[in-house]
Structure 1
Amino acid sequence: MSIFTGSGVAIVTPFTADLEVDYAKLRELIDFQIENGTDSIIICGTTGEASTLTHEEHLDCIRVCVEHVNKRVPVIAGTGSNCTKTAIYLSQEAEKSGVDALLVVTPYYNKATQNGLKGHFTAIANSVNIPIILYNVPSRTGCNILPETAVSLAKEVSNIVAIKETTENMSQVAKLMKLADGCIDLYSGNDDQVIPLLSLGGKGVISVVANVAPKLTHDMVVKYLEGDTSGALKIQLDLLDLADAMFCEVNPIPVKKALELTGFPVGKLRMPLTEMEPANAERLAKAMREIGILVK
């Protein structure tokens, strides 16, 4: 059984004026997402600025999320690291908090070999008893999970059950799904490629855009899975300009600005991330207005 089908939001981590984690605002964001159809909450991923959180903050965010969601939808915690020992620690602590699954990114900067990736992910998976989603995002990590490696892991390690693909190489994704023959679930990590990945057998999306357009993102996936491919395609095409604007600067700079523009401020970004350039912020606001998102 899939961890979830539909739209999972890669939720931001809100900060107070002095850049402490704003747990009250996080609870508000969670409620907003669930009330608008989001099918899963992904906490402490790239969009959640996990790389700038202390381990204590990281685990506190996970605990607060699990407690506040209270089983309404699955909670998936980002627990990856470029250090296998650290990833095991975070994964074990997240499991103790009651998360439904883990999202584990490739070990960035180290640029492990394919055998290194197999060893890394196997060690993490063997340290816990909950499902794991592999996270392949070569543009940010300099490391690519090849289809053969992902399929080998899924077949050999019982709790490695899915992969979030954020590669631009659709041929690689197609090869993955051919080799997998159903042994691994697929989630899109690119908001502009949801329909193509669903057409290859994907179960949904782990979305940045869903932070500000949760219902549209949910509806797009549901329509496709229910057979309304033309309706799903229309939403995908309608969302393209917003998806592009969301990544005109490094994520999560634009998505935090987008939430601010809707009147739902979530605080600044921790360094080394900086505020969005004014011209890009206007581009983002224009894309939001075009699909009916109220910009205040």
Structure 2
Amino acid sequence: MTSAVDSGDSPPGEFQAVGGRFERALIWVFIVVPTLALVPGIFIAWGGWIGWHDIVLLVVFYVITTTGIGVGYHRGFTHGSFKSRRGLKIALAVAGSLALEGPVIRWVADHRKHHKFSDRDGDPHSPWRYGTNAWAVTKGFVFAHVGWVLWGQDRADPKHYAPDLLADRDMVSISRHFRGLVAISLLAPAVIGGLWDRSWHGAATGFFWGTLVRIALMHHVTFSINSICHVTGDKPFTARDRSGNVWWLALLSQGESWHNLHHADPTCARHGVLRGQIDINAWFIRLFERFGWAYQVRWPNRQRLERKRAAAA
């Protein structure tokens, strides 16, 4: 999973990834500043500087953006686990953009490259890139979690890894307008909080909890799929890499941390396929399917799962 900033200055109908100093500076700001807000956030909440309006803003924006990334960017656009009607496709791409993890085309290209080279040379964010001893894994863990976003250079070429999205006018347009969506994601909680509370205090707490804390929490949960889930976790299914299931991340990631099955069967729409494995993103896909917004959903195939599980035994 990824984070990036791309320019909106490319000609109409085209998408251009930009890695200039301004864009790199924005990446640092989007990651570092919200992360720094988490520490005082604990003390501020303990001191009572959080109301139920703030909790609602935090939860609602978190669910919207986590669904946009997990259901839209990941299962839908990257792996084709289901097809979307145009309205749902656009809604998921916009929701994913609000997570500040990069334009949809860039995100999909990087993630497809990750699957092609998972935990091998060429993987943009494998925690095993430096070796297997304690120091090498520690350094690799930090790189896989956030380092590859901040200073990594091994990014995917969208023309090679995401030509289908480059041919989709909606995806190109949403990617080109990523900066505008970033502004909406940053300011909307403050505006809503201020209007809801009818005060500047409501705007300030809305921005702190609905923007800073929400972004930091969501980013580090997403990054943990790259780092934690490739270092530890149960492996009930056969995969080509070291991906594992990490149960305690399942709720916050909405099911993305059932990572072993995902790498064993990447196009499967449900990642938590075993008893007791909660997969909220699969529930959303099921709901979209019932409304007719999602179709050709690739639900788990029992025979294929049994073969993957038998091989892992």
TM-score bracket relative to the smaller structure: 0.3 to 0.5
Higher helix residue share: 2
Over alpha carbons, which structure has the higher Rg?
Answer: 2
